[in-house]
């Protein structure tokens, strides 16, 4: 049976960074579920689809051919969109697209298919609670709001810090209060607070958890 390492947490908690590092260290497939929602959002924007048109968004999500390749590249319908999906407009649209229940259901099906036959590190907001509730390892990675804003400010230097703080607060509200697959810590997930920790520190702590769970043969 393939191993799934599920990493959930709010925006800016460091999920993507640690998931990539773990995947490289363990030689697992890295699945960035956020990139999948961004890809659908990008397609919707290009098509001129209203972000409130849930039916059309569902159709796009079902039809999208999303491939996650080496070097953490992302392809949409055969086109490399790795850089395009990181544009601010797409980021904003992605959080709205991700709140559409039918879109989440369509992409969850794709995510489950990806994790069927390979050992994977999958990060998002509902991986341990919805996508893979039986994941062998579940981590809920968090950090305080100030730390999460600081990290985003380092990544997005063109956006004023107060604006970033506002965006993260809005994203947190949408993620936690949406009806479909809200951001929650799965009951059997291990909570890791990355505030004040280096990337190396977080990696070491999570690797201890991973190795303990897998060596003990635990499925939850």
Per-residue pLDDT reduced to its tens digit, 138-159: 999 999 999 999 998 998 888 8
CATH for 76: 3.40.50.300
Residue 220 has pLDDT above 70, yes or no: no
Q: Do 134 and 182 share a structural domain?
A: yes
Predicted model pTM:
0.84
pLDDT mean over 192-196: 95
Domain boundary among 98, 118, 138: 118
> Total domain count for the chain?
2
188 and 82, same structural domain? no
Better pLDDT: 191 or 158: 191
Show which of 59, 83, 118 is a domain's final residue. Answer: 118
In this structure, the answer to whether residues 47 and 20 fall within a common structural domain is no
**Same domain (yes/no): 127, 162:** yes
Q: Are residues 112 and 39 in the same domain?
A: yes
Give 81-100 pLDDT, tens digit per residue. Answer: 999 999 989 988 998 999 89
Domain boundaries, position 91: 30-118
Q: Which of 66, 92, 118 is the last residue of a domain?
A: 118
On whether both 114 and 154 belong to a single domain, the answer is no
pLDDT in tens, 110-135: 999 988 878 999 999 999 999 999 99
The answer to whether residues 37 and 123 belong to one domain is no
pLDDT value at residue 217? 56
What pLDDT score was predicted for residue 2? 76
pLDDT band at 216 (very low <50, low <70, confident <90, very high): low
For residues 102 and 127, state if they share a domain. Answer: no
- Average confidence score pLDDT of the chain: 92
Query: Does the pLDDT value for residue 189 go beyond 70?
Result: yes
> Please, which pLDDT band fits residue 63 given cuts at 50, 70 and 90?
very high
Considering the domain architecture, whether residues 34 and 11 belong to the same structural domain is answered as: no
Q: Summarize the confidence of residues 50-72 as an average pLDDT.
A: 94
The predicted pLDDT at position 111 comes to 93
218 has a pLDDT exceeding 80: no
Same domain for 154 and 94? no
* Nearest Cα to Cα of residue 73 among 110, 31, 22: 31
- In this structure, are 1 and 86 located in the same domain? no
The arithmetic mean of pLDDT across residues 194-217, rounded, is 89
pLDDT of residue 114: 87
1-59: pLDDT as tens digits: 578 999 999 989 999 999 999 999 999 989 999 999 999 999 999 999 999 999 999 99
Q: Are residues 195 and 216 in the same domain?
A: yes
pLDDT at residue 54, as a whole number: 96
């Amino acid at each position: 049976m393939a191993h799934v390492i599920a990493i959930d947490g709010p925006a800016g908690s460091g999920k993507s960074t640690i998931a990539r590092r773990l995947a490289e260290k363990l030689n697992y497939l890295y699945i960035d579920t956020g990139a999948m929602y961004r890809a659908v959002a990008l397609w919707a924007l290009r098509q001129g689809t209203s972000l409130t048109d849930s039916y059309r968004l569902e159709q796009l999500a079902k039809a999208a051919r999303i491939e996650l390749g080496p070097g953490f590249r992302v392809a949409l319908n055969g086109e490399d969109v790795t850089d395009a999906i990181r544009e601010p407009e797409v980021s904003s649209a992605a959080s709205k697209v991700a709140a559409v229940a039918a879109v989440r259901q369509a992409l969850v099906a794709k995510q489950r298919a990806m994790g069927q036959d390979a050992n994977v590190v999958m990060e998002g907001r509902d991986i341990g609670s919805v996508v893979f509730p039986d994941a062998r390892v579940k981590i809920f990675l968090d950090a305080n709001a100030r730390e999460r804003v600081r990290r985003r400010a380092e990544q997005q230097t063109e956006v004023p810090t107060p604006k970033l703080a506002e965006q993260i607060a809005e994203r947190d509200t949408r993620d936690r209060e949406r009806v479909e697959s809200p951001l929650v810590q799965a009951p059997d997930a291990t909570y890791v607070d990355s505030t004040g920790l280096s990337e190396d520190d977080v990696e070491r702590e999570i690797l201890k958890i991973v190795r303990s769970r897998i060596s003990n043969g635990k499925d939850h």
